[in-house]
């Protein structure tokens, strides 16, 4: 047990209900209810895993990171909402979050849901001082390997490295989770859930099947799919190969913890969810984004300035006629934008150089 924790964590450990934890482990609930009064089925083996994650979160300072994948329409967002509801239920029942310790919050759209990487990170910042906070990212596409140098992608990975003591429960949805950056997928992810359609003769495709993959923190895990122990290094090697193949071939059955059915019950209010998604994605479109290759970034950082392309950021003198003033103000606006771009490219280049030097030193040592 790590003792480098804040007093609120120690207080939570004192009131943790070990009795209720054991009761839930011995007899997991068959169904749970969302705040709208709708029920969904619970897989007992997955629920027991979630219990263990909450225990490790509380007593061993081990945060939670889950990935949810699957083709469009297979219900990955629904699955994430249900797993989040299960985690919330466990923490409430075991006194991990409580009104007495001022750690309680409601499991709803405002507190626990975001719709893109930018709004997800902003929500993490909003609840920066809170512990045991569930935050779901409904679309984590900004974490793709191809975008690893993007500002928000880097911010997420930096937060994952630095903010373990915040004891967050992060749930990320993306159609192909094996496309995401590998340095956190293989090092920090605890569970991957991939949703699939089940073919029904009468009703066609039904989105109620899910495969669970566990990346153990210990030496091994158990596969209910093939009834055998699987070493952690085996799973990581298999997942590394999967990141190369992506969805060209299926993961071997023995690396799947369990294949189970899920309900199609969404654990948030659908109307609020749609409204929030539209608002957050509208704001997301307003974010200025420019994608440049590392080579082009270096050229801009080294050779470009506003003056070299004939733009000036000098203050405009008084007494200039209105038309000329408007032209100079527009030119100055362009010059400031170019200067901002150049400064950003220089920052990125400096950081890349530092990282390259760090890698070289590590190799020498």
DSSP-assigned letter for residue 331? H
Q: Helix (H, G, I), strand (E, B), or coil: what is residue 252?
A: coil
The closest of 190, 194, 169, 170 to 262, measured between CA atoms, is 194
pLDDT of residue 227: 87
Residues of the chain with confidence (pLDDT) below 70: 1-4, 142, 144-150, 152, 160-165, 181-184, 244-249, 282-293, 354-365
Residue 347 in tokens: 């920052």
CA angle 249, 177, 70 (to 5 degrees): 70
> How confident is the model at residue 186, as a pLDDT?
75
Whole-number Å distance between alpha carbons of 123 and 112: 8
At 364, list the tokens.
């020498």
Q: How far is CA 16 from CA 97, 104, 105, 282, in A?
A: 9, 14, 17, 42
- The pLDDT assigned to 47 comes to 97
Q: Closest Cα to residue 40, out of 6, 71, 81, 77?
A: 81
Q: Which two tokens stand for residue 46?
A: 């997955």
Q: Long-range contacts of range 276-284, CB-CB < 8 Å, 24 or more positions apart? A: 276/109, 276/110, 276/113, 276/115, 277/115, 277/138, 280/114, 280/115, 280/116, 280/119, 281/115, 281/116, 283/119, 284/115, 284/116, 284/118, 284/119
């Amino acid at each position: 047990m790590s003792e480098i924790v804040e007093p609120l964590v120690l207080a939570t450990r004192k009131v943790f209900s070990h009795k209720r934890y054991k009761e839930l482990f011995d007899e997991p609930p068959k169904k749970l209810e969302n705040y709208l009064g709708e029920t969904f089925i619970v897989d007992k083996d997955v629920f027991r895993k979630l219990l263990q994650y909450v225990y490790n979160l509380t007593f061993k300072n081990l945060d939670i990171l889950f990935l949810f994948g699957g083709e469009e329409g297979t219900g990955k967002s629904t699955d994430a909402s249900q797993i989040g509801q299960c985690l919330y239920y466990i923490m409430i029942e075991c006194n991990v979050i409580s009104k007495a310790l001022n750690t309680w919050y409601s499991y709803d759209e405002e507190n626990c849901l975001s719709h893109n990487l930018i709004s997800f990170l902003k929500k993490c910042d909003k609840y920066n001082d809170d512990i045991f906070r569930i935050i779901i990212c409904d679309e984590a596409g900004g974490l793709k390997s191809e975008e690893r140098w993007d500002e928000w992608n880097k911010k997420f990975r930096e937060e994952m490295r630095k903010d373990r003591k915040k004891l967050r429960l992060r749930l990320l949805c993306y159609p192909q989770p094996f496309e995401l950056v590998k340095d956190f997928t293989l090092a920090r992810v605890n569970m991957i859930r991939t949703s699939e359609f089940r073919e029904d003769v009468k009703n066609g495709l039904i989105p109620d099947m899910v495969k669970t993959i566990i990346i153990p923190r210990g030496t091994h895990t158990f596969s209910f799919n093939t009834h055998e122990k699987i070493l952690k290094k085996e799973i990581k090697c298999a997942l590394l190969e999967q990141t190369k193949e992506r969805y060209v071939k299926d993961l071997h059955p023995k690396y799947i913890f369990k294949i189970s059915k899920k309900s199609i019950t969404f654990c948030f209010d659908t109307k609020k969810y749609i409204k929030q998604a539209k608002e957050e994605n509208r704001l997301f479109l307003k974010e200025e984004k420019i994608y440049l290759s590392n080579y082009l970034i270096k050229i801009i950082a080294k050779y470009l300035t506003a003056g070299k392309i004939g733009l000036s950021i000098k203050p405009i003198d008084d007494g200039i006629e209105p038309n000329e003033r408007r032209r100079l103000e527009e030119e100055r606006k362009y010059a400031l934008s170019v200067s901002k771009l150049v400064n950003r490219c220089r920052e990125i280049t400096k950081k890349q150089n530092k990282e390259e030097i760090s890698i070289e030193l590590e190799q020498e040592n």
